Structure 1
């Protein structure tokens, strides 16, 4: 009897254990396949922690930058404005002035006011357009919208702006059955929003079980594909009038030479300089340079010079530079609107007074922090040039990552021509090498054309070279001989005309050999214990550059500088000017 009871108890206990195990297994199964009801905190989701902040959802993506809410209006800081919305705005932190340049006007808005000016015409808004908080400027998003191909909607709880600036077709997908949008694809992922049948969502990515979708309120997440219908393409409706830029472009190819003029008297040499050229149709005398920190310019212009050039069928594009007066702070001038205006007004007044045809801007060695001010200078100058029928060209280095702030694409919007200075590959103070190897030139063309249309691009080539001299160091200088980067000679160089360099090679009994890699002749010789090296310029090296420009359908050529060329070079140039 006792044994029977024990046995029954054991069976009962085993059954209970089995039942418990089954319950646990079933519970786990139910738990696994039961969607979580946990909801994501939307303030955390959008990253909104401040009462005066609003998240920004740009083209169905939450971006790190946020807007500021002030007096019921939305504002973005200047860096966000430039990076996210519209890079054409310019904030003058020195004069507390916000500028926007259209193809026809400079529009200015003083800080902390509701007024703005289209050139001189006064307009106003019902809100503060821009205000400064310490070093940071904040611009009303409604004002930004006036000049930007964008639209936005504002939502609360939490505060956020849903911005559209990408107007390509969208895939719209309907909700078939009430469902949820979750943070990730999976029923255990927290819920972001409940959506009802017949609502429309934007389909961002199509998946097998879960689609990535966005709501019109800026929530981006995942919804079960079986709860959604078939996607359809939808065209956005918007009516922004895109800005159109016009340019003064010549029908014939540009054949331009720079004429270095350092005194008023030097203008008298123009007839002799032009007489030694063939097919020259533009001359650029170095007449103007930045001469003080208020934007004042030195002026070496001559009406007689212009009249003579016109009588020879040659246009005059006067050059303005920033290099001659080392006491001038170029950054200071470019970052003050009043000082840029002073420069612009002097140049336009001179163009009218002396009747020259164009302005050639040659601002070099600009600091990164002056980049925006420099581009604004080009914008402002271009408008007054166009209003007066004056051609504007801008000289540029061969593109590198270090000169990206020269913003060639924006230059091309406003200037008529962008000139590639296809030389100074090696320069005084650099390692020895060619001034303009053909690979360097071709790369310069290729990379410039990524930003500038070919019909606005001019290639500048050198009429000079550099003669490099290696002077052995004295024995007393040999203490660092063990260092890996030790060089046993002092390296110097001197710029030389085409003819002078060939004469020096000949006089020293050296033989020039063609360098396929550089696309020019190379020679070296020893004189007085010093080694001389030179990458020579002649018709053959020039023709390779002319061919490169022609094959890329560039607008023409420019040459630095007149007077340094071999006379026979012009016959080669003429072959490519038709």
Structure 2
């Protein structure tokens, strides 16, 4: 009997010991699970189905499905999932001006943003859209947890009375998730008989006994104003702007050195498409980095160079206002300093309608105190590419006009020649100044040139083709092909030629010397500054030359 009792006791000891060991193993598993899984928390829900948040230096990306399931069920994705569409007209937002807010809402604006796709999960920039969705997003670095909370007028909190623990479930024997210390503040979500469901400062969710908490309510003030009016732009000084070409994704300029003398960067971010949708490729990180470097940002809006889409927009008041409202909203959302209008290839019959569009757009953008500029071609005979611009009327509306003094010989030109010979550029300036005041005119200079290829067909006729290349690549091409280089005084450029595979190649070179001559023209005619197409095609010495526009004495 004693022996049986002893065996029973030993078995019980083993069972109890095993249970204790199992408990602590399970406890460790719970804590490990919290560390590995609870990366994304929406209020009192640990989000597991959509993946983790993506945390970058200036942005936190949130899964689109989280927003769609908990905040805005009307979100739409493009077929390729690269773009998300958000209806703004039903959001509680305020822009720089009350009348501007009303204009945007009344025109039923639906914006679109580029998404980020990783592991088949589609993400949306959270910080950028936090005011749109009326949410607060925070990243807790110590636990690598991202919390997402809706703003409400009142939020319940609790203050811990004395040291205690955060439990996985609302009972004393549940596993412990974390420790809670006296005077620590926790977010309170639900109340159970003797327990509160809470979230602590490091983003862990769990339960704490009621007796350990003093509950209180805090009123929250939500600032729904998207932006404020910009400070006045100093128009008394000469300026230097450059266009940043963006096809879809914007380059990262964080590690770029600041370009001395550069005032404005103008990325090609917005394109008008059919039905009045403005395709948006803007990047808030680019804006922030540019502002850090001291640049202003003028976002480019173009018409896709499609006359059919353009005429539809210009002659439909509803679509026109829809386009203008989208541009104004993006300017506010991305904290732009200005808008650059680049409409090309327009039906001549829309000449007056285009002036009216620019006038209406400028009136709205001035509510944000933005700078408005427009790009025009050198005066010429083409109705769609030159005569469509009523330069005199446009000059009275906008702040600056950029003269695109390049493509003298365009891509499909039947004859080889310079992109911007000095005589052609000067004639373009003189002709433009007949209708545009010099105080508003910027001289556009090319950071590209063309390699012309001339071949002779079976009939003895010369066939000409060309390829645009960055001017920073010209030197290498010349060296690789042992090209003959001479100065062309008439063009104001060096001219290179070489033969290869029964073809003759010609390059009228844009470089520091040719651009310096163009800057002298800007000085000669008292122009307001320089605009260059496009950033990234140049080499360092070019910026040293362009900076001279701000110190006229160095040009003499």
Give the TM-score range, shorter chain: 0.5 to 0.7
- Mapped pair 1:354 → 2:327: no
Post-superposition CA distance 1:271-299 (Å, at most 9, x none): 35x5273321100001000121x221100
Partner of 1:206: none
Partner of 1:559: 532
What is the distance in 2 between the residues matched to 1:317 and 1:529?
A: 46
Partner of 2:267: 285
Partner of 2:359: 379
Shift of 1:570: 1.1
| Residue from 411, 416, 419 that aligns with 1:435 | 419
| Residue from 348, 372, 377 that aligns with 1:368 | 348
Q: TM-score, normalised by structure 1?
A: 0.53
What is the distance in 2 between the residues matched to 1:407 and 1:275?
A: 39
What is the distance in 2 between the residues matched to 1:495 and 1:538?
A: 15
| Residue from 530, 542, 546 that aligns with 1:573 | 546
Partner of 2:299: 318
- Mapped pair 1:300 → 2:285: no
- Say if 1:290 and 1:328, in contact at 8 Å, map to a contact too: no
Shift of 1:248: 6.0
Partner of 2:472: 499
What is the distance in 2 between the residues matched to 1:287 and 1:305?
A: 11
- Mapped pair 1:416 → 2:399: yes
Post-superposition CA distance 1:95-136 (Å, at most 9, x none): xxxxxxxxxxxxxxxxxxxxxxxxx9xxxxxxxxxxxxxxxx
Partner of 2:27: none
Q: SS of the residue aligned with 2:374?
A: strand
Partner of 2:519: 546
Paired residues in the alignment total 318
Partner of 2:236: 251
Q: 1:268 to 1:432 in 2, by over 3 A?
A: closer
What is the distance in 2 between the residues matched to 1:519 and 1:340?
A: 43
What is the distance in 1 between the residues matched to 2:531 and 2:450?
A: 19
Q: SS of the residue aligned with 1:568?
A: helix
Shift of 1:448: 1.1
What is the distance in 2 between the residues matched to 1:506 and 1:328?
A: 45
| Segments of 4+ moved more than 3 angstroms | none
- Say if 1:277 and 1:567, in contact at 8 Å, map to a contact too: no
| Residue from 407, 410, 432 that aligns with 2:390 | 407
Q: SS of the residue aligned with 1:429?
A: coil
What is the distance in 1 between the residues matched to 2:494 and 2:258?
A: 24
- Mapped pair 1:455 → 2:436: no
What is the distance in 2 between the residues matched to 1:271 and 1:543?
A: 29
Shift of 1:251: 2.6
What is the distance in 2 between the residues matched to 1:343 and 1:361?
A: 13
Structure 2: which 5+ residue stretches go unaligned? 1-105, 107-231, 552-556
Q: How does 1:442-521 map to 2 (within 5 A)?
A: 442-473=426-457, 475=458, 478=459, 488-521=461-494
What is the distance in 2 between the residues matched to 1:315 and 1:277?
A: 13
Q: 1:466 to 1:276 in 2, by over 3 A?
A: farther
Shift of 1:327: 9.7
Q: 1:358 to 1:451 in 2, by over 3 A?
A: same
What is the distance in 1 between the residues matched to 2:489 and 2:244?
A: 31
Shift of 1:335: 1.8
Post-superposition CA distance 1:530-578 (Å, at most 9, x none): 1101100111100011110011111110100001002111111112223
Partner of 2:90: none
Q: TM-score, normalised by structure 2?
A: 0.55
- Say if 1:423 and 1:462, in contact at 8 Å, map to a contact too: yes
Q: SS of the residue aligned with 1:275?
A: coil
Shift of 1:257: 0.8
What is the distance in 1 between the residues matched to 2:294 and 2:516?
A: 25
Shift of 1:267: 2.2
What is the distance in 2 between the residues matched to 1:251 and 1:433?
A: 37
Post-superposition CA distance 1:480-516 (Å, at most 9, x none): x6xxxxxx23211000111222221221112211111
Q: 1:563 to 1:462 in 2, by over 3 A?
A: same
Post-superposition CA distance 1:165-203 (Å, at most 9, x none): xxxxxxxxxxxxxxxxxxxxxxxxxxxxxxxxxxxxxxx
Superposed CA RMSD: 2.0
Q: 1:317 to 1:566 in 2, by over 3 A?
A: same
What is the distance in 1 between the residues matched to 2:318 and 2:504?
A: 52
What is the distance in 1 between the residues matched to 2:349 and 2:526?
A: 34
| Residue from 346, 369, 394 that aligns with 2:374 | 394
What is the distance in 1 between the residues matched to 2:505 and 2:259?
A: 31
| Higher radius of gyration, 1 or 2 | 1
Q: SS of the residue aligned with 1:440?
A: helix
What is the distance in 2 between the residues matched to 1:513 and 1:282?
A: 35
Partner of 1:261: 246
Partner of 1:126: none
- Say if 2:346 and 2:388, in contact at 8 Å, map to a contact too: no
